[in-house]
Amino acid sequence: MIVVRDAPGGLEVLMLRRAAGASFAGGAYVFPGGRVDRADAGDEIADHCSGLDDATASATLGIASGGLAYWVAAVRECLEEAGVLVGARRDGSPVSLGDDVRRKVHDGSMSMADVCHAYDVVMAFDQVHYVSHWVTPRGEQRRFDTRFFLTALPEGQVAAHDAIETVETHWCRPAEMLERMAGRELLLLPPTVANLERLAADGDVASALVSAAGVERPVRIEPRLRLDETGRWIGIAMPGDPDYDDLD
């Protein structure tokens, strides 16, 4: 979930730094996210989803069914990792769930359906836009098929890392993060870089949301590994690179 807000210096994006000992992307700056869990799907949550149903979500993702669970997972992971709830009470008022609820969602003792029922929360899916789709290269030991969504920071929400999977909360201008990466001050993964580059062209949240809403169906991007003659990894080729089609 890419979360953005307006600031005096222009649009800022929420970045979390992963724990150095994490099994994947340790120490990297990332957007809050994770995997779709079985509990993210189910008819009982449909009444707590604003502006989206499973058929529309699935068509948007290009899958047969179960698409709504991706939006639920994005909202849940944003709550778990960043403490931000993308939604409000049914009457429109902001809701603060507190660390206890956040921990229960994190350890699986509460699902998003449980949270929505207990606090009469409606998740604001009409304000969550699907903006990109990345798949890790073939040949990697662990592979991920990842959908990226964008939303504005909801009223009354304050971001804070979970001190488990993430150890730092950072609001920054997209261009700043790209400059720091170029200066080797921090680690960013290729999909993060691509999303930040797109955001760098947006001056404020309103323009970022307009751009995101204009993405009809993101193209599936799958980089390929560049290997030397010994089979050692030496780089990544992106679609459109001259050698991309020649790589296994």
Residue 79 domain-assigned (yes or no) = yes
Residue 113 domain-assigned (yes or no) = yes
Residue 141 domain-assigned (yes or no) = yes
Question: Of 138, 100, 144, whose CA–CA distance to 119 is shortest?
Answer: 100
Helix residue spans in the chain (DSSP H)? 54-61, 68-82, 98-107, 112-119, 174-182, 190-199, 205-213
Residue 228 domain-assigned (yes or no) = no
Strands 145-152 and 2-7, by their bridges, are parallel
What is the extent of the structural domain holding 13?
Answer: 2-222
Residue type, 216: E
| Residues found in the chain | 248
62-118: pLDDT as tens digits: 999 999 999 999 999 999 999 999 999 999 998 888 899 999 999 999 999 999 999
| φ and ψ of 236, to 5 deg | -125, 135
Residue 45 domain-assigned (yes or no) = yes
Residue 11 domain-assigned (yes or no) = yes
CATH number assigned to the domain comprising residue 19: 3.90.79.10
Residue 109 domain-assigned (yes or no) = yes
Q: How many whole angstroms separate alpha carbon 125 and alpha carbon 75? A: 9
173-201: pLDDT as tens digits: 999 999 999 999 999 999 999 999 999 99
What's residue 140's pLDDT? Answer: 80
Q: Does 23 have pLDDT greater than 80?
A: no
What's residue 141's pLDDT? Answer: 80
Residue 130 domain-assigned (yes or no) = yes
pTM for this entry: 0.93
Tokens representing 109 are 């003792």
Number of domains in the chain: 1
Q: What is the mean pLDDT of the chain?
A: 93
What's the farthest any 2 CA atoms get from each other in the chain?
63
